Structure 1
């Protein structure tokens, strides 16, 4: 899969508009549009910005890995899981503790 398709899929999966990405990263909307169409490719610096923004590896963006990056104990995470992690990291400690408690309770309910 080419970068343009991978990048476009990420934007759609994460429900991120070109405008939102511009506001969050400073990368101009027109540039993002050219990347989506495949008429240009990002620089190494911009690849790193994209990877950091979506919490994925540059290898993934370039089609070198089938799954998302940032693995723990060999387990790769989906873009949805990474979005949850990104949102979690934006919370204060008290809110994070609440989320952890909720997730643990949910996991306990789903145990056989």
Structure 2
């Protein structure tokens, strides 16, 4: 995840210290994040995302490009997403075993089918 932050720093010519000062996110938070000892909480990640004008999921999506205007890569295959054993939720990194991945897949499939049915019932304009 920190690699995504580093890409943004490089792209915009900023330093972690500048981001810290302008967002109010402690430089120690960013330093511990870089070392892999800490993952910023959701509110801090949101401040960083807002600063760079990227969606907060930018930091957890492995294939997302920096450009926020290019949505051609947005749709992700659920099976490929679930190949990752590490996901971020509520600002914390969680490791998923096979049982957890299957539960997540089942829940998401249920939501997708519900959305599909709901969209079928919408009146056409």
Could you tell me the TM-score, scaled by structure 1's length? 0.54
Unaligned runs of at least 5 residues, structure 2: 74-125
- 1:66 aligned partner: 64
Larger radius of gyration: 2
Give 1:65 shift: 4.7
Task: Tell me how far apart the structure 1 counterparts of residues 62 and 7 of structure 2 sit (CA, whole Å).
Answer: 16
- The alignment yields a C-alpha RMSD, in angstroms, of 2.2
Could you tell me the TM-score, scaled by structure 2's length? 0.49
The answer to which structure, 1 or 2, has the higher relative contact order (CA under 8 A, 6+ apart) is: 1
Task: Tell me how far apart the structure 2 counterparts of residues 14 and 51 of structure 1 sit (CA, whole Å).
Answer: 13
Aligned residues: 73
Q: Which of the two has greater strand per residue?
A: 2
The verdict on how the C-alpha distance between 1:45 and 1:69 changes in structure 2, with shifts beyond 3 A counting, is: farther
Q: Which of the two has greater helix per residue?
A: 1
